[in-house]
């Protein structure tokens, strides 16, 4: 009996030491490799990382983005979702381009994110809050590629919200207001 008690103490000590080394608040292991391109916060039902970490989340903190849980996407994670290619003029009235990436609906579904409002935020801090339902109904795409070329920081990347404006008559008169580029954060409330 004493051997069993000692073994249980050793197991408990080992578990405690392992837990002490975990980086609480830091990202939980992701399916994809590489840097995080997009973070979804707010009403996230299937988080893949913990809450805001003041030490690790400097850029998010700069824009006062705090959260208890989030879902992060690397390029591999976004690419693993069903990609669509849509045609659109951006900016409005300009040449038609092909944009590729997953539907916003699929991105939010992967995060288990559902709500009434979606706020999309760009690297420069520009943010637009709009209806969750409207973005999904209009077929918003989280594009990572234009005309077969990956977006980069300094053009429209890492990702851009686009719509099939050249393919859907109901979107033909849509303004560029919700076409946020260089996005890194989406909050669902």
Series of mean pLDDT values for 10-residue runs along the chain (189 residues)? 42 32 40 85 97 95 96 96 96 96 98 96 96 96 97 92 96 94 97
Task: Determine, yes or no, domain membership for 12.
Answer: no
Task: Determine, yes or no, domain membership for 43.
Answer: yes
Show the domain range for 178.
26-188
Check residue 154 and give its pLDDT: 86
Check residue 65 and give its pLDDT: 96
Q: How many domains, in total, are found in the chain?
A: 1
Q: Residues 54, 57, 63, 68: is their CA dihedral positive or negative?
A: negative
Task: Determine, yes or no, domain membership for 156.
Answer: yes
Task: Determine, yes or no, domain membership for 48.
Answer: yes
Backbone region of residue 102 per phi and psi (left: phi > 0; alpha: psi in -120 to 50; beta: other values):
beta
Question: Hey, is 33 helix, strand or coil?
Answer: coil
CATH code, domain with 90:
3.90.420.10
Task: Determine, yes or no, domain membership for 15.
Answer: no
Task: Determine, yes or no, domain membership for 93.
Answer: yes
Task: Determine, yes or no, domain membership for 6.
Answer: no
Alpha helices (H) along the chain: 2-21, 58-62, 75-80, 104-111, 132-137
Question: Rounded CA gap, 26 and 43, in Å?
Answer: 19
Check residue 89 and give its pLDDT: 95
Check residue 27 and give its pLDDT: 41
Task: Determine, yes or no, domain membership for 9.
Answer: no
């Amino acid at each position: 009996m004493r051997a069993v008690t000692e073994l249980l103490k050793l197991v408990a000590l080992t578990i405690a030491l392992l837990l002490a080394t975990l980086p609480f608040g830091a990202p939980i292991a992701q399916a994809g490799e590489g840097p995080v391109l997009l973070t979804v916060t707010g009403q996230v039902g299937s988080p893949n990382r913990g809450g805001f970490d003041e030490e690790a989340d400097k850029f998010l903190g700069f824009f006062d983005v705090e959260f208890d849980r989030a879902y992060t996407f690397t390029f591999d994670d976004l690419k693993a979702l069903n990609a669509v290619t849509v045609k659109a003029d951006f900016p409005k009235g300009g040449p038609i381009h092909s944009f590729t990436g997953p539907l916003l609906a699929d991105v939010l579904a992967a995060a288990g994110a559902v709500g009434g409002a979606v706020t999309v935020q760009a690297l420069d801090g520009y943010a637009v809050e709009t209806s969750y339902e409207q973005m999904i109904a209009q077929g918003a795409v989280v594009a990572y590629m234009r005309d077969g070329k990956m977006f980069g920081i300094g053009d429209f990347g890492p990702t851009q919200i686009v719509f099939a404006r050249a393919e859907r008559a109901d979107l033909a008169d849509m303004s560029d207001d919700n076409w946020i580029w260089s996005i890194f954060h989406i909050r669902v409330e």
